[in-house]
Structure 1
Amino acid sequence: MNIALVLLTTALVLVVATLAAAGAGKLARLDGATYPAALARAATAFAAFLTLAAAAAGALAALLT
């Protein structure tokens, strides 16, 4: 597989995960959560997105081999 494609895909996943975390943190803050609670929700969203992306990549890799 082309290394450029792997790097581009990794960068895209990290950007989308960061945007999801920022959105979750902003929504938590708008809901009245404190800054530490909003940061915890953002971190949870970031980790959940990365876990979902890793599971999807694993399933796709299993199908392609």
Structure 2
Amino acid sequence: MTVPVVLLAIALVAVVALLAAAGAGKLARMDGATYPTALTRAATAFAAVITLTAAVAAALEGLLT
């Protein structure tokens, strides 16, 4: 893979993770959660997206080599 493709993929994953975190935080606030609780839920969603992406990348790397 070339460096620009890898950087674009990393940027795309970061944007998707941030959008998921923002959505989780907003939904938590709409549900009546306090700001610290909403921030915790947003951080959990962000970490989950990053972890899932790393797991999928590792599985694909194993299949493609």
1:31 has 2:31 as partner: yes
Partner of 2:44: 44
Partner of 1:7: 7
Counterparts of 2:50 and 2:12, CA distance in 1: 11
Counterparts of 2:29 and 2:62, CA distance in 1: 39
SS of residue matched to 2:6 = helix
Q: What stretches of structure 1 of length at least 5 have no aligned partner?
A: none
Measure how far apart 1:20 and its partner are.
0.1
- 1:16-27 alignment runs, 5 A limit: 16-27=16-27
Normalising by the residue count of structure 1, what TM-score does the alignment of the two structures yield?
0.99
- Number of aligned residues: 65
Q: What stretches of structure 2 of length at least 5 have no aligned partner?
A: none
The RMSD of aligned alpha carbons is 0.3
> Structure 1 residue runs of 4+, over 6 Å off?
none
